[in-house]
């Protein structure tokens, strides 16, 4: 059989050589015919200019077609030569030449009238002998071994690039097995096709688990089951994982997605999402357009509330109330009382502003802001540390009398905090309440573990017992840092 095939190949190659000679003769004949045509056209130039131009064009077309035919003849020859080494590439080359030849001759032209036959001979010979169905391209070094899986659907290759690769029969790479530190000499499947063993020049053999592609997808779907249910948008993309039970379980979560879309203003998209959810679970009871409108209104209401909150924190209570009222019209389920909410937020904003004033050493402005906040909302949250900061900073800036109320509030909220007692002690000393200051400093001394600070407070207490104020201007400067 092999000897017969080799003989047939030689016959084909001989035929191709003959057709190439014929092609060269075609070119020569075409050139001669073109010259004769041109001479004829010149002799009748006086009769019709158009006829002369047409004859000249026809002559040039003959030469162009003959040159194309010669090129295609050579392409057919080259394809057959390539076939000995690269079967697929040879077939592709012959196909291209055949296609161009058909276009040159005309689709309905009988083969006997084709100007050349090399592409036809090449296609016939290649298709008769071709064994290669595909090419597995991906290795970067010599492929040492290749084997089919038991079911014939998968191929494993071993390469000197230190890897083994798994492919389907269409040439798509399914996996790359990395781990060897030298050439992979051999790779093969186990009889059940679930395991691959590789042998390498690194003196090791490795065993790899392998699953068919469909089995891999099924395993992945099982692994992602709960994730896909609560992330229905991902389930929409992974059709391979969609089962009736999974779609039904994911439908309520898809409804939530639609609600968010509607709230964001994407009403049409939300309607599509709601319809999909109903398709996944027909037992859900709602009307998509109505639900989309409902949540669009909720979204608008939320944005109005947010705008109102920003206005209120800037102490623009009047316009904040308007925003809250508009929100309630769109979404009556909102649990807000416009005037009260605006005042509460304005109070929070004033507390925040007051803290900024304290940092800037604007003690009087801070006091005013705190007072306004409490007037708007008597229950506005101002913690012990906030009052303590006002107490201490106000005292250091020589506003002890003005901030004494803050000192008292801080101690009331945190009576066992020695640092807060220390701040009130400073304010008491500066306002002449020496006995109260001594009590506060002694409470601090009893708690602190810092010997240097303890000695400092003990010094203050000693001076206070003498009926003097230890907080001279020089001492206050030191405390201000």
pLDDT digits (tens, 9 = 90+) for 242-252: 999 999 999 99
**Any long-range contacts for 409-415 (C-beta under 8 Å, 24+ apart)?**
409/382, 409/384, 410/384, 410/385, 413/383, 413/384, 413/387, 414/384, 414/388
Q: Residue 176: its pLDDT value, please? A: 84
Q: Residue 214: its pLDDT value, please? A: 59
Q: Residue 56: its pLDDT value, please? A: 37
| Residue 368 Cα to chain centre, angstroms | 51
Q: Residue 193: its pLDDT value, please? A: 83
Least-confidence region, from 129-133, 200-204, 294-298, 408-412:
129-133
pLDDT in tens, 438-478: 999 999 999 999 999 999 999 999 999 999 999 999 999 99
pLDDT in tens, 38-48: 332 322 222 23
Q: Residue 43: its pLDDT value, please? A: 27
Q: Residue 25: its pLDDT value, please? A: 52
Q: Residue 254: its pLDDT value, please? A: 97
Quickly state the pLDDT bin for 350 (edges 50, 70, 90): very high
Q: Residue 58: its pLDDT value, please? A: 36
The helix or strand, by DSSP H or E, that contains position 320, with its residue range, turns out to be helix 317-330
Q: Residue 209: its pLDDT value, please? A: 77
Quickly state the pLDDT bin for 111 (edges 50, 70, 90): low
**Percentage of the chain with pLDDT > 90?**
60
Say how far apart CA 233 and CA 235 lie, in whole Å. Answer: 5
pLDDT of 105 > 50? The answer is yes
pLDDT in tens, 356-389: 999 999 999 999 999 999 999 999 999 999 999 9
pLDDT of 27 > 50? The answer is no
Say how far apart CA 165 and CA 138 lie, in whole Å. Answer: 8
pLDDT in tens, 222-274: 888 999 999 999 999 988 899 999 999 999 999 999 999 999 999 999 999 99
Quickly state the pLDDT bin for 52 (edges 50, 70, 90): very low
Instruction: State both tokens at 301.
Output: 């209401």
pLDDT in tens, 276-326: 999 999 999 999 999 999 999 999 999 999 999 999 999 999 999 999 999
Q: Are strands 184-189 and 195-200 parallel, antiparallel or unpaired?
A: antiparallel
The helix or strand, by DSSP H or E, that contains position 145, with its residue range, turns out to be strand 143-148
Q: Residue 200: its pLDDT value, please? A: 94
Among residues 345, 354, 343, 344, the alpha carbon closest in space to that of 313 is found at: 345
Could you tell me which residue, 330 or 80, shows the higher pLDDT? 330
Mean pLDDT of 10-25: 50
Could you tell me which residue, 324 or 101, shows the higher pLDDT? 324
pLDDT of 346 > 80? The answer is yes
What is the residue-averaged pLDDT of the chain? 83
Q: Residue 251: its pLDDT value, please? A: 97
Among residues 131, 178, 138, the alpha carbon closest in space to that of 155 is found at: 138
Q: Residue 131: its pLDDT value, please? A: 61
Instruction: State both tokens at 20.
Output: 């190439």
């Amino acid at each position: 059989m092999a000897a017969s095939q080799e003989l047939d190949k030689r016959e084909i190659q001989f035929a191709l050589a003959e057709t190439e000679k014929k092609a060269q003769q075609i070119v020569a004949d075409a050139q001669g015919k073109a010259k004769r045509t041109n001479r004829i056209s010149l002799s009748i130039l006086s009769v019709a200019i158009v006829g002369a131009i047409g004859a000249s064009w026809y002559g040039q077309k003959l030469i162009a077609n003959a040159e194309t035919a010669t090129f295609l003849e050579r392409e057919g020859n080259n394809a057959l030569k390539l076939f000995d080494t690269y079967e697929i590439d040879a077939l592709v080359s012959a196909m291209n030449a055949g296609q161009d030849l058909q276009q040159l001759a005309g689709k309905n032209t009988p083969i006997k009238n084709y100007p050349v036959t090399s592409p036809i001979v090449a296609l016939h010979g290649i298709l008769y002998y071709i064994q290669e169905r595909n090419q597995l391209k991906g290795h970067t070094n010599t492929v040492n071994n290749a084997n089919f899986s038991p079911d014939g659907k998968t191929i494993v290759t071993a390469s000197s690039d230190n890897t083994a690769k798994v492919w389907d029969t269409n040439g798509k790479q399914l996996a790359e097995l990395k781990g060897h530190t030298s050439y992979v000499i051999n790779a093969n499947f186990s009889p059940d096709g679930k395991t691959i063993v590789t042998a390498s020049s690194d003196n090791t053999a490795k065993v790899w688990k392998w699953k068919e592609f469909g089995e891999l997808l099924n395993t992945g779907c099982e692994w992602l089951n709960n994730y896909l249910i609560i992330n229905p948008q991902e389930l929409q993309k992974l059709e391979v994982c969609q089962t009736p039970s999974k779609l039904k379980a994911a439908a309520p979560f898809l409804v939530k997605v639609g609600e968010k879309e509607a709230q964001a203003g994407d009403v049409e998209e939300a309607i599509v999402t709601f319809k999909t959810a109903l398709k996944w679970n027909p037992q859900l009871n709602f009307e998509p357009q109505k639900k989309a409108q409902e949540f669009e209104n909720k979204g608008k209401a939320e944005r109005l509330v947010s705008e109102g909150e920003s206005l209120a924190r800037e102490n623009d209570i009047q316009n904040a109330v308007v925003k809250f009222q508009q929100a309630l019209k769109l979404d009556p389920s909102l649990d807000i009382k416009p005037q009260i909410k605006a005042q509460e937020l304005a109070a929070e904003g004033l507390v925040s502003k007051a803290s900024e004033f304290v940092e800037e050493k604007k003690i009087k402005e801070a006091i005013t802001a705190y007072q306004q906040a409490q007037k708007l909302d008597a229950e506005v949250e101002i913690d012990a540390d906030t009052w303590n900061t006002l107490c201490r900073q106000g005292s250091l800036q020589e506003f002890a009398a003005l901030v004494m109320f803050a000192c008292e509030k801080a101690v009331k909220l945190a009576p066992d905090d020695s640092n807060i007692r220390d701040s009130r002690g400073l304010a008491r000393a500066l306002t002449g309440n020496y006995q109260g200051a001594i009590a506060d400093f002694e409470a601090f001394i009893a708690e602190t573990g810092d010997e240097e600070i303890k000695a400092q407070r003990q010094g203050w207490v000693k001076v206070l017992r003498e009926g003097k104020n230890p907080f001279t201007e020089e001492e206050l400067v030191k405390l201000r840092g």
